[in-house]
Amino acid sequence: MEALLEKQFGYTSFRTGQKEIIQTVLNKQDTIAMLPTGTGKSLCYQYPSYVNNERVLIISPLLSLMQDQVDQIKLRGEKRAAAINSFLSFSEKKYLIQSLEAFRFIFLSPEMLTSHEVLKKLKEIGVGLLVVDEAHCISQWGPDFRPDYLKLDAFRQALGNPCTLALTATATEEIRRDIADKLGLNEWKEWVFSVNRPNIALEVIKLSSMDEKESRLLQEISSQKAPGIVFFSSKKKAEELQAKAGEIGIRSAVYHGDVETDQRILIQQQFITGQLDWIFATNAFGMGINKENIRTVIHFHMPSSIENFLQEIGRAGRDGDQAHSILLYSENDVAIPLQLSELEKPDLSQIEGFYSSFRTGKSLDLIQQDLMLSDTQLRVLGYYAEHIRSAGWAEEVERILEERVVSKRRKVLDMKSFIETEGCRREKLLSFFDEKLMYEQNQCCDRCGLENIRHQNETKEFIQYHWKEKLSLLLNGGTDVQ
């Protein structure tokens, strides 16, 4: 196996977990695998294709993630990779679908699962391995974010139940069981490896006000090692602070769902190639970024769950070198995700109004306008209108949605528990996944001591200039302005 690994991928040894997962897939056994972010999950589905010479179909949740994977495969010299998603024009999409048999690796967005043309072509050419990347999305987001993920069971059956590999970096035992249930897996092999990333130091900084928090963020991005990402819950706050960072000479950009697609692609490429040092982003950023040398991840707002937190800090230190996670926290932060979880749930009158209008054939656009539903609420109610047929539909849907609110509230409180722990943060983080910290390590967390990493970062020779000062220095012959 190592000989093929070196010949095809240029590596001399497998990383933890890769070989075991690959062997299970080669034995045609459905598999759920949990590997930490940045430890090479993509090899687990690429490698088998060169052994059995079978086509691999990968369902991927974010367009940026999908495109990045295709680009990485092509950089390796494998040209038979393609992605079908909304980035493509109609003619490009039609051409790719018609010529799918020419590709070894085919990436699909969840929305493409409903395309009869795509399904017909895939059944015709055959799929050797079905991969569900970021599989926690099935359980964690489900109808809230991408209801098409919940159609994977039917899609899999239509393809003749090919061997299936579900990959994730963060999934509790409860979520792994839910993944298996949603995919319709009867017997499966489970490979679960530690979520611990020992090279990422964990730090929580408690602050008393929003002004203090903003000031501290600008201080941190001026002194911490770049490249880095700052995560926000608010698009507006991300834009405000990115503008302030620009005023003090920080090479940065803002990235969120309202940024135009071509601009998002440009920002990603500028960040990957080192033209930008910091990205101010909502959690839409990061899943599709294969940048190994990210040194710092800062959370300006508290993440809504431990799983989200792990996913986001997992962008850092993929090269194995020291990285740093900083969470800026003030007492009111916990209220934001709690309020959001409540606001996302439509009230009973909206649920009843939706069902009544939906049954009469009224368009979703008009229903949304009449009932003042958010996009998420519309997706959720649309999904349940198609999948629940009970007489008391509205009451049943309200019960389900209330259960989801309770679950989200519990996850928020778990995150607060991590922040407020008086013991080792890494040990606390692992405990949510029923893991134990097996050994002490240097640069662990602020509870265990981070003096070395703070001293190293804060004393580096790096001067930040206001843009006016920088321009003046350059005009007067300065060549070492950073």
Kindly report the number of other CB atoms within 10 A of residue 343's CB atom: 12
Per-residue model confidence (pLDDT) at position 320 = 87
Banded pLDDT at 40 (limits 50, 70, 90): confident
Select the highest-mean-pLDDT range: 170-174, 416-420, 454-458. Answer: 416-420
Per-residue model confidence (pLDDT) at position 482 = 41
Within this chain, domains 2-192 and 200-336+413-474 share the same CATH topology: yes
Banded pLDDT at 51 (limits 50, 70, 90): very high
**CA 336, CA 357: separation in Å to the nearest integer?**
32
Give the total residue count for the chain: 482
Q: Per the structure block, which two tokens stand in for 393?
A: 């539909």
Q: 271 with 289: CB under 8 angstroms?
A: yes
Q: Please report where in the chains the tokens 């982003």 appear, as a residue.
A: 281
Q: 294 with 318: CB under 8 angstroms?
A: yes
Scored b (16 or more CB within 10 A) or e, 113-126 reads: beeeebeebbeeee
Residue 266 has pLDDT above 90, yes or no: no
Cis peptide bond prior to 227, omega within 30° of 0: yes
Architecture of domain 2-192: 3-Layer(aba) Sandwich (3.40)
Select the highest-mean-pLDDT range: 188-197, 375-384, 462-471. Answer: 188-197
What mean pLDDT value characterizes the chain?
86
Angle at 334 between CA 332 and CA 340, to 5 degrees: 110
Per-residue model confidence (pLDDT) at position 136 = 84
Per-residue model confidence (pLDDT) at position 481 = 43
Residues 6+ apart with CB under 8 A from 17: 33, 35, 39, 191, 193
Percent of the chain with pLDDT over 70: 90
The residues spanned by each domain of the chain are 2-192, 200-336+413-474
**CA 317, CA 200: separation in Å to the nearest integer?**
7
Per-residue model confidence (pLDDT) at position 59 = 93
**CA 296, CA 326: separation in Å to the nearest integer?**
8
Residue 316 has pLDDT above 90, yes or no: yes
**CA 271, CA 268: separation in Å to the nearest integer?**
5
Residue 37 has pLDDT above 80, yes or no: no
- Written in H, E and C, the secondary structure of the chain is CHHHHHHHHCCCCCCCCHHHHHHHHHCCCCEEEECCCCCCCCHHHHHHHHHHCCCEEEECCCHHHHHHHHHHHHHCCCCCEEEECCCCCHHHHHHHHHCHHHCCEEEECHHHHHCHHHHHHHHHHCCCEEEECCCHHHHHCHHHCCHHHHHHHHHHHHCCCCEEEEEECCCCHHHHHHHHHHHCCCCCEEEECCCCCCCEEEEEEECCCHHHHHHHHHHHHHHCCCCEEEECCCHHHHHHHHHHHHHCCCCEEEECCCCCHHHHHHHHHHHHCCCCCEEEECCCCCCCCCCCCCCEEEECCCCCCHHHHHHHHCCCCCCCCCEEEEEEECHHHHHHHHHHHHHCCCCHHHHHHHHHHHHCCCCHHHHHHHHCCCHHHHHHHHHHHHHCCCCCHHHHHHHHHHHHHHHHHHHHHHHHHHHHCCCCHHHHHHHCCCCCCCCCCCCCECCCCCHHHHHHHHCCCCCCCCHHHHHHHHHCCCCCCC
Percent of the chain with pLDDT over 90: 52
Residue 271 has pLDDT above 70, yes or no: yes
Per-residue model confidence (pLDDT) at position 141 = 55
Banded pLDDT at 90 (limits 50, 70, 90): confident
Residue 210 has pLDDT above 60, yes or no: yes
Kindly report the number of other CB atoms within 10 A of residue 52's CB atom: 14
Least reliable range by pLDDT among 154-168, 176-190, 274-288, 297-311:
274-288
Least reliable range by pLDDT among 35-39, 191-195, 328-332:
35-39
Per-residue model confidence (pLDDT) at position 287 = 54
Architecture of domain 200-336+413-474: 3-Layer(aba) Sandwich (3.40)
